[in-house]
Amino acid sequence: DIQMTQSPSSLSASVGDRVTITCRASQNIRKYLNWYQQKPGEAPRLLIYGTSTLQSGVPSRFSGSGSGTDFTLTISSLQPEDFATYFCQQSYSTPPITFGQGTRLEIK
Amino acid sequence: QVQLQQWGAGLLKPSETLSLTCAVTGVSFSSHYWSWIRQSPGKGLEWIGEINHTGSTNYNPSLKSRVTMSVDTSTKQFSLNLSSVTAADMAVYYCARGRHIAVVTPIHWFDPWGQGTLVTVSS
């Protein structure tokens, strides 16, 4: 199985900050990497697919980049509604599809 | 818009079979694969498997021996059975729309998700 490792596991930031979350795959997954946002008590919501394509309705302050084994999710200017947990997910080598352990983004 | 509504028993005893069903509205049922994913504090998000309208399945090898998925195209519903549950199976279980059936590349994401069902295993 491909292991997905996110860093940091948690992060404190302020409204207006630029934030970057990293996801590393245990082997080359080319660009088959997706990002999700999850708020407490809710299901995950797709933000970005194929490394860098924003899902419809997702604000443009979210962006994704990377390829191979190293990927990043960037939020250019944090808004109050962005405080949540973020997950990466690979689909290159399946089964199984695997997820990162999550990065919890908290208000400083 | 696409909506997934799921239901099933939330409290099980060890060795019982978990059964969940997910109903799809707002999209062609035959155009996608449909997945089950679970989330627990210990294991995080874990993909359980997927099924399409023909009943073709792909399962997570770690759960394959205990998982059965089925589909009812007449009602646009798909179901998950997980046998011989233990405390390790306690999680929130989600259904989700997966990859388009015609896609041949590995691109595969989940959107949208059902509301989730908390499954507790206790004697």
Write out pLDDT tens, residues B21-61: 999 999 999 999 999 999 998 889 999 999 999 999 999 99
d(CA B59, nearest CA chain A) in Å: 7
d(CA B67, CA B64) in angstroms, rounded, equals 5
Which of B60, B94, B107 lies nearest to residue A96, judging by beta carbons? Answer: B60
d(CA A24, CA A3) in angstroms, rounded, equals 8
Taking CB atoms and an 8 Å cut-off, how many pairs form between chains A and B? 67
Nearest residue of chain A to residue B58 (CA atoms):
A95
Q: Cβ–Cβ of B109/A96 closer than 8 Å?
A: no
Write out pLDDT tens, residues A45-79: 999 999 999 999 999 999 999 999 999 999 999 99
Average pLDDT, chain B: 96
Q: Is the pLDDT of residue B105 over 90?
A: no
